[in-house]
């Protein structure tokens, strides 16, 4: 290298720092949404958000994490809104004034999945708790999300209802997202609790089937909460509010109802009758 | 074996029909990795040089500290940076979290010790012959520094490319500080993890192949430019 190349290296270095500049400019104009993985991995958000942006001109970026992490980001003021599915934790979030109001806007359900051979014979069970009791009694392998996600919280509730503290070699906690959890259950011929949306989206690549569905304990309600401006000064609170209004609007609700994976609807709209709290 | 071959064939097929999303992911990966490598080089090279040229009390401790920093997991670096740039943290005003800049900061911090240690390793044995010779011949310190770096450019280049490889392949920092936002902070590694989690193995493999091809091209370019060096 010769001396004349020193300045050139400096210029290249400065040019390469451009992403940093771009990052700073990104900060205020977009709405930042922390979402449960199921709403993102099922493809729903990629179908809804471009339509929302066309209607309102507001751009939404989302980070897909478990419900627990999403609420943590909201509490720290790192995002403008959270999309989660853990009613108990959401109510606590609003009670502690981290968010303004919990707005349920769609629902789906959880299903108990397992190998078609169904070694613990849960297919005939009436309730989810009964199915979990049989799985534990048989010591049949069970894959748990183990990540404080909404799905994991629900799984814990069902174990509580079944009066069982799961543990032992048959029960594995993986600390990973729904998609990975389904793949692991499929690979190990194990049972798991999953959301219907993610399962249907991946069904082709999996060797597990829906063995139990329809128990009211498996209802899965999704809510969106605008993070309170106190927690997130300089945030895009207006954009978050418009997103919530749009999701509850006839346009938003009909797009949710119309979203299909392999011809099947995954989510039911639920505009709350009392409107926004 | 059937799975691997099928996925590989599908991966190559995906490569032939590159969509905008994959190209965007590769673009983000390159911009972020090149930025952090250059920034870290601008800090790590002088640090390695100082360690090689100066002797001072406690130098052995500094060296041990630098080498220990090589073992720090990426997620720990990410948590450390998160503690600074989260909205309610000291640098929260800059709105850096979940932007490419946040990834650049984390990756830069990740590889500064790596570059420092490697540059020190390259320079330490040669420092007498090159640097002191340049000083004796009357070169001012900046020129002597630059001469030392250019005279050892094979080793220095390897150090910088090792740093580049480390940031291009890491996932903890990109995922936590970038958030894997589609079209903004989705890098090759976070996209590969996402596609794998969704069962889209062929897209994951296509991304992996593409990343390797690009790094190979960059390495070839660097290597061809650096032909004919002394050391």
> What is the value of ipTM here, to two decimals?
0.78
Burial of A101 (0-12, 13-18, 19+ CB in 10 A): middle
- DSSP β-ladder status, A219-227 and A264-265: unpaired
Question: Cα separation of B152 and A51, whole Å?
Answer: 56
End-to-end CA distance of chain B: 45
Average pLDDT over residues B79-86: 95
Is residue B227's pLDDT more than 70? Answer: no
What are the residue boundaries of the structural domains of chain A, listed by start?
5-108+220-269, 109-218
Question: Cα separation of A127 and A109, whole Å?
Answer: 14
Q: Is B58 left (phi over 0), alpha (psi -120 to 50) or beta?
A: left
- Check if A5-108+220-269 and A109-218 are the same fold: yes
Average pLDDT over residues B15-39: 91
Q: Which of B202, B216, B218, B191 is nearest to B15 (CA)?
A: B202
Of all residues in chain B, the one with the smallest CA distance to A236 is B95
End-to-end CA distance of chain A: 68
Residues from chain A contacting residue B94 (CB–CB below 8 Å): 24, 27
Question: Cα separation of B190 and B23, whole Å?
Answer: 14
Which of B31, B94, B180 comes nearest A24 by C-beta? Answer: B94
Q: With CB atoms and an 8 Å threshold, state whether A234 touches B38.
A: no
For A27, the token pair is 């900060």
For B225, the token pair is 């430019």
The answer to whether the beta carbons of residues B177 and B102 sit under 8 Å apart is yes
pLDDT per position as a tens digit, B115-173: 999 999 999 988 888 888 888 888 888 898 888 888 898 899 999 999 999 999 999 99
Q: With CB atoms and an 8 Å threshold, state whether B31 touches A12.
A: no
For B43, the token pair is 């800090």
Is residue B76's pLDDT more than 90? Answer: yes
Which of B42, B87, B198 comes nearest A232 by C-beta? Answer: B87
Residues from chain A contacting residue B39 (CB–CB below 8 Å): 13, 17
**Residues B184-198: b if buried by 16+ CB within 10 A, e if exposed:** bbbbbbbbbbbbbbb
Q: Give the domain B21-225 fold.
A: MetI-like fold (1.10.3720)
- Phi and psi angles of residue A109, each rounded to the nearest 5 degrees, phi first: -145, 160
For B95, the token pair is 């709105």
- pTM recorded for the entire structure: 0.83
Residues from chain B contacting residue A77 (CB–CB below 8 Å): 86-88, 92
Which residues, listed in sequence order, are joined to residue A225 by a DSSP beta bridge?
A82, A102
Please, what CATH class does the domain formed by A5-108+220-269 belong to? Answer: alpha beta
Mean pLDDT over the full length of chain B: 90
For B15, the token pair is 């490569």
Which of B38, B86, B102 comes nearest A23 by C-beta? Answer: B102
Which of A19, A77, A176 comes nearest B88 by C-beta? Answer: A77
Give the DSSP H/E element, type plus range, for residue A39: helix A37-41
Q: CB-based contacts of A265: which residues, under 8 Å, 6+ apart?
A: A257, A258, A259
Question: Cα separation of A36 and A179, whole Å?
Answer: 12
Residues from chain B contacting residue A78 (CB–CB below 8 Å): 86-87, 97-98
Interface size A-B, in CB pairs within 8 Å, comes to 99
Residues from chain B contacting residue A183 (CB–CB below 8 Å): 197, 199
Residues from chain A contacting residue B98 (CB–CB below 8 Å): 32, 61, 63, 78
Q: Which of A25, A24, A33 is nearest to A239 (CA)?
A: A33
Length of chain B: 231
User: Which CA distances in Å does A146 have to A113, A156, A175, A178, B162?
Assistant: 16, 9, 5, 10, 35
Q: What is the pLDDT of residue B9?
A: 87
pLDDT top residue among B214 and A91: A91
SS3 call for B60: helix
Q: Give the domain A109-218 fold.
A: D-Maltodextrin-Binding Protein; domain 2 (3.40.190)
What is chain A's pLDDT, residue by residue, as a tens digit (277 residues)?
A: 444 444 555 555 555 555 544 544 444 579 999 999 888 888 899 999 999 999 999 999 999 998 999 999 999 999 999 999 999 999 999 999 999 999 999 999 999 999 999 999 999 899 999 999 999 999 999 999 998 889 999 999 999 999 999 999 999 999 888 888 998 999 999 999 999 988 988 888 899 999 999 999 999 999 999 999 999 988 999 999 999 999 999 999 999 999 988 888 889 998 654 444 4
Measured between CA atoms, how close is A260 to chain B, in angstroms? 17
pLDDT top residue among B198 and A58: A58
**Residues A18-49: b if buried by 16+ CB within 10 A, e if exposed:** ebbeebeebbeebbbbbbbbbbbbbbbbeebb
Of all residues in chain A, the one with the smallest CA distance to B86 is A78
**Residues B75-85: b if buried by 16+ CB within 10 A, e if exposed:** bebbeebbeeb
- Alpha-helix runs per DSSP H in chain B: 2-16, 20-53, 59-69, 74-85, 100-123, 127, 133-136, 141-151, 153-169, 172-173, 188-197, 201-225
Q: Which of A84, A71, A86 is nearest to A227 (CA)?
A: A71
Q: What is the pLDDT of residue B7?
A: 81
CA triple B8-B197-A129, angle to 5 deg? 140
- Phi and psi angles of residue A221, each rounded to the nearest 5 degrees, phi first: -105, 130
Q: Is A270 left (phi over 0), alpha (psi -120 to 50) or beta?
A: beta
Interface of A with B (CB under 8 A): 1, 3, 6, 12-13, 16-24, 26-28, 32, 41, 46, 61-64, 76-78, 176-177, 179-180, 183, 201-202, 204-206, 231-232, 234-235
- The separation between CA B14 and the C-alpha centre of its own chain, rounded to angstroms, equals 27
């Amino acid at each position: 290298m010769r001396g004349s190349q020193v300045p050139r290296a400096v210029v290249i270095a400065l040019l390469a720092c451009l992403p940093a500049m771009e990052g700073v400019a990104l900060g205020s104009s977009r709405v930042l949404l922390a979402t449960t993985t199921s709403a993102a991995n099922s493809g729903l958000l990629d179908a809804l958000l471009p339509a929302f942006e066309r209607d309102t001109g507001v751009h939404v970026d989302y980070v897909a994490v478990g419900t627990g992490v999403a609420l943590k980001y909201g509490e720290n003021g790192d995002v403008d809104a959270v999309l989660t599915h853990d009613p108990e934790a959401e109510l606590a979030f609003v009670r502690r004034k981290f968010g303004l109001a919990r707005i349920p806007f769609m629902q789906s359900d959880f299903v108990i999945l397992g190998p078609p051979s169904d070694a613990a014979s849960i297919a005939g069970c009436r309730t989810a708790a009964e199915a979990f009791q049989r799985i534990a009694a048989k010591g049949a392998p069970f894959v748990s999300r183990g990540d404080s996600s909404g799905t994991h919280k629900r799984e814990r509730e069902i174990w509580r209802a079944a009066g069982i503290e799961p543990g032992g070699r048959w029960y594995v906690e993986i600390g990973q997202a729904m998609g990975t959890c389904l793949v692991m259950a499929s690979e190990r011929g194990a049972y798991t609790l999953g959301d219907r949306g993610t399962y249907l989206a991946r069904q082709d690549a999996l060797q597990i089937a829906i063995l139990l569905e329809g128990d009211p304990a498996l209802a899965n309600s999704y809510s969106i909460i605008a993070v309170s401006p106190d927690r997130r000064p300089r945030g895009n609170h207006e954009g978050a509010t418009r997103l919530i209004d749009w999701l509850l609007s006839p346009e938003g609700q009909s797009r949710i109802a119309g979203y299909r994976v392999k011809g099947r609807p995954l989510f039911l709209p639920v505009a709350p009758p009392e409107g926004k709290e | 074996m059937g799975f691997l071959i099928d996925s590989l064939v599908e991966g190559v097929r995906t490569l032939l029909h590159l969509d905008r999303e994959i190209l965007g992911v590769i673009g983000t990966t390159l911009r972020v990795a090149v930025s952090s490598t250059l920034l870290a080089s601008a800090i790590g090279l002088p640090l390695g040089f100082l360690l090689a040229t100066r002797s001072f009390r406690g130098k052995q401790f500094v060296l041990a500290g630098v080498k220990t920093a090589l073992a720090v997991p990426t997620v720990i670096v990410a948590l450390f940076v998160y503690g600074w740039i989260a909205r309610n943290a000291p640098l929260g005003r800059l709105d850096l979290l979940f932007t490419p800049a946040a990834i650049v900061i984390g990756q830069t911090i990740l590889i500064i010790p790596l570059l420092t240690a490697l540059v020190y390793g390259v320079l330490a044995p040669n420092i007498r012959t090159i640097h002191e010779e340049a000083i004796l011949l009357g070169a001012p310190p900046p020129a002597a520094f630059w001469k030392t770096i250019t005279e050892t450019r094979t080793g220095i280049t390897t150090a910088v490319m090792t740093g580049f490889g480390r940031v291009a392949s890491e996932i903890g920092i990109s995922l936590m500080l970038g958030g894997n936002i589609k079209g903004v902070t989705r890098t090759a590694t976070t996209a590969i993890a996402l596609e794998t989690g969704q069962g889209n193995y062929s897209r994951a493999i296509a991304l992996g192949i593409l990343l390797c091809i690009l790094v190979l091209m960059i390495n070839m370019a660097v290597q061809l430019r650096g032909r004919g060096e002394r050391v």
